[in-house]
């Protein structure tokens, strides 16, 4: 899905390298991977930024290429296989080497490479692969530890590393990134532009007149917050999208209205807001994102609390264009753009046409070229009022709750387009709903910085923190 069938051998260029590194699991699943030139495959396998969950994936990819290319020419097989970092493999992974490499190389060569990489006399420690971007989770609300009440969060977390190996349960190691400067926040919106995180609107608590209009910008490289011009009205359960030097805030709920059709846009250059063409109808709990210079809005609840299946292309200076509706209505869902298409997941829907609601597990993809939605593998669990992000070659859907059980979820699910399946990546620090997520590049810091103590919940902006990407730590590889 993310990656097309791919270019033939003559069209592989080094300028494609960063994209291939980021989406390596999906690229390997395409027939074009087998046409990759040997020298480029070797460079990919030797890169610290190769995006693999565990090192056995790199060996599987190398073996598949060697089998398809007749074992390579001259010393190609040895060069390709020696680019795999056997020292990063767990004991269970090492046991799988013979079955993974069957027909790809001489077993004696493999044994020699494994022994050499694990030898105590190895000159340098084996570097762990690390992708420079990390998942950041912002705010939300959760149950208190005694489960007696709900408590909004002011915390920002980042995924420092994923602990995963063959046969082991996947677990995310989260570290505190900072806190919102003005208190807790949920039902808000976040936008990432130029490695800056913009936090808009939402609510501090649960009061009837508590909807926020404030906007803040967080700069991760400086670890600093800046208070920007506020929106013209407070908004919660709304969508915000960055496009062409502007941030659009669309619809949502305010203290006066259950749903609004108003849209306003923020000019990054002048730090000002202006009103734009309204939505065709009042919406809250909808989703929006930008793709190829256009802004798309899907689903949501209308003023009568009905879930919608609509999709429209919004224009700030003219009427919105209705497009093919989704296969089912949904609100409180997520929508992300990847590979030239739109992906919608989660949320809730009307139960049998009645006023009751059910969890929406359907997952679908929209092609702007064909104006068509296609159903994919459904979500394994409900994610109502959760969040999502695209990182590397995966769509991550995290947090939220189940409307049918009213239980929050702490699960992080990842859709892998290469295998067209969902897997569980791990869990959030807490079971948050009404949270938001984004992808940022963080400063490298000290690779051997100690982990925070178990009771540490993060400090104010500017407080010291550990390294997001230590060279000798096993990071998250989607």
Predicted confidence pLDDT, tens digits, the chain (478 residues):
444 333 333 344 544 677 788 778 778 888 889 988 998 899 999 988 887 877 888 999 999 999 998 875 657 888 999 999 998 887 888 888 999 888 888 888 888 888 888 776 655 556 777 667 899 999 999 988 777 789 999 999 999 877 654 445 578 889 999 999 999 999 999 999 999 999 999 999 988 789 999 999 999 999 999 999 999 999 999 999 999 999 999 999 998 788 999 999 999 999 999 999 999 999 999 999 999 999 999 999 999 999 999 999 999 888 999 999 999 999 999 999 998 999 999 999 998 655 689 999 999 999 999 999 999 999 999 999 999 999 877 899 999 999 999 899 999 999 988 778 898 989 999 999 999 999 999 886 533 343 333 333 333 333 333 333 222 222 222 2
Q: How far is CA 374 from CA 360, 363, 440, in A?
A: 15, 9, 30
Classify residue 99 as exposed, middle or buried by CB count within 10 Å of its CB (0-12, 13-18, 19+): exposed
Q: How far is CA 353 from CA 180, 246, 357, 395, in A?
A: 40, 38, 9, 30
Whole-model pTM?
0.76
CB 309 within 8 A of CB 328: yes
Ramachandran angles phi, psi of 66, nearest 5°: -65, -45
Question: Does residue 242 share a domain with residue 94?
Answer: no
Residue 341 in domain:
yes
The count of other CB atoms within 10 Å of the CB of residue 98 is: 11
Q: Indicate the number of domains in the chain.
A: 2
Residue 469 in domain:
no
Residue 80 in domain:
yes
Domain containing residue 103: 9-118
Q: What is the residue-wise DSSP string for 63-118?
A: HHHHHHTTT-STTHHHHHHHTS-GGG--HHHHHTHHHHTTTTS-HHHHHHHHHHHH
What CATH number did the domain enclosing 281 receive?
Answer: 2.120.10.80
Residue 3 in domain:
no
Residue 454 in domain:
no
Q: Which residues contact 21 (CB under 8 A, 6 or more apart)?
A: 44, 47, 49, 50, 51, 131
Question: Does residue 316 share a domain with residue 247?
Answer: yes
CB 211 within 8 A of CB 252: no
Question: Does residue 79 share a domain with residue 14?
Answer: yes
Residue 468 in domain:
no
Rounded CA gap, 219 and 110, in Å?
46
Q: What 3-state class would DSSP assign to 314?
A: strand
Question: Does residue 388 share a domain with residue 352?
Answer: yes
Question: Does residue 24 share a domain with residue 163?
Answer: no
Question: Does residue 98 share a domain with residue 39?
Answer: yes
The count of other CB atoms within 10 Å of the CB of residue 442 is: 21
Token pair 């407070």 in the structure block, residue: 234
Question: Does residue 378 share a domain with residue 293?
Answer: yes
Question: Does residue 151 share a domain with residue 42?
Answer: no
Q: State residue 16's pLDDT score.
A: 65
Out of 118, 146, 164, pick the residue that ends a domain: 118
Out of 52, 84, 118, pick the residue that ends a domain: 118
Classify residue 150 as exposed, middle or buried by CB count within 10 Å of its CB (0-12, 13-18, 19+): middle
Rounded CA gap, 14 and 42, in Å?
12
CB 386 within 8 A of CB 360: no
Ramachandran angles phi, psi of 203, nearest 5°: -135, 150
Out of 63, 95, 118, pick the residue that ends a domain: 118
Residue 281 in domain:
yes
Residue 42 in domain:
yes
Rounded CA gap, 112 and 91, in Å?
17
Question: Does residue 318 share a domain with residue 180?
Answer: yes
Question: Does residue 60 share a domain with residue 151?
Answer: no
Question: Does residue 293 share a domain with residue 145?
Answer: yes
Question: Does residue 285 share a domain with residue 241?
Answer: yes
Largest CA distance in the chain: 74
What CATH number did the domain enclosing 111 receive?
Answer: 1.25.40.420
Q: State residue 460's pLDDT score.
A: 34
């Amino acid at each position: 899905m993310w990656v097309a069938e791919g270019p033939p051998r003559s069209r592989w260029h080094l300028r494609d390298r960063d994209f291939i590194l980021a989406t390596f699991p999906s690229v390997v699943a395409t027939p074009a991977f087998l046409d990759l030139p040997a020298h480029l495959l070797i460079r990919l396998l030797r890169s610290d930024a190769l995006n693999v969950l565990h090192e056995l994936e790199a060996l599987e990819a190398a073996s598949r290429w060697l089998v398809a290319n007749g074992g390579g020419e001259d010393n190609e097989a040895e060069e390709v296989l020696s680019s795999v970092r056997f020292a990063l493999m767990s004991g269970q992974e090492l046991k799988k080497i013979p079955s993974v490499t069957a027909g790809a190389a001489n077993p004696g060569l493999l044994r020699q490479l494994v022994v050499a990489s694990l030898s105590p006399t190895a000159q340098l420690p084996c570097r762990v692969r690390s992708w420079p971007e990390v998942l950041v989770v912002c705010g939300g609300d959760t149950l208190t530890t005694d489960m007696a009440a709900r408590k909004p969060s002011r915390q920002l977390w980042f995924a420092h590393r994923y602990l995963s190996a063959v046969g082991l349960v996947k677990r995310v190691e989260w570290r505190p990134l900072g806190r919102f400067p003005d208190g807790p926040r949920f039902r808000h919106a976040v936008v990432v532009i130029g490695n800056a995180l913009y936090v808009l609107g939402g609510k501090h608590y649960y009061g009837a007149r508590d909807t926020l209009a404030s906007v803040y910008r967080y700069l991760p490289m400086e670890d600093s917050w800046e208070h920007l011009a506020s929106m013209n009205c407070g908004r919660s359960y709304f969508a915000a999208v960055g496009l062409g030097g502007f941030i659009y805030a669309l619809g949502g709920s305010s203290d006066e209205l259950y749903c609004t059709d108003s849209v306003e846009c923020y000019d990054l250059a002048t730090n000002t807001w202006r009103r734009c063409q309204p939505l065709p109808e009042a919406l809250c709990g909808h989703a929006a994102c930008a793709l190829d210079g256009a802004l798309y809005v899907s689903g949501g609840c209308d003023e009568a609390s009905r879930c919608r299946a609509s999709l429209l292309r919004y224009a700030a200076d003219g009427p919105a264009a209705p497009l093919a509706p989704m296969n089912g209505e949904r609100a409180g869902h997520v929508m992300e753009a990847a590979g030239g298409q739109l992906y919608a997941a989660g949320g809730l829907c009307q139960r049998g046409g009645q006023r009751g609601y059910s969890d929406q597990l359907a997952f679908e993809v929209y092609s702007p070229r064909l104006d068509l939605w296609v159903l994919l593998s459904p979500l394994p669990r409900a994610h109502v009022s959760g969040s999502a992000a695209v990182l590397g070659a995966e769509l991550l859907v995290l947090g939220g709750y189940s409307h049918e059980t009213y239980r929050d979820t702490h699960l992080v699910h990842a859709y892998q387009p290469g295998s067209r399946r969902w897997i569980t990546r791990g869990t959030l620090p807490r079971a948050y709903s009404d949270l938001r997520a984004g992808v940022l590049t963080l400063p490298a810091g000290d690779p051997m910085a100690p982990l925070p103590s178990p009771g540490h919940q993060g400090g104010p902006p500017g407080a010291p923190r550990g390294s997001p990407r230590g060279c000798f730590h096993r990071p998250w590889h989607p």
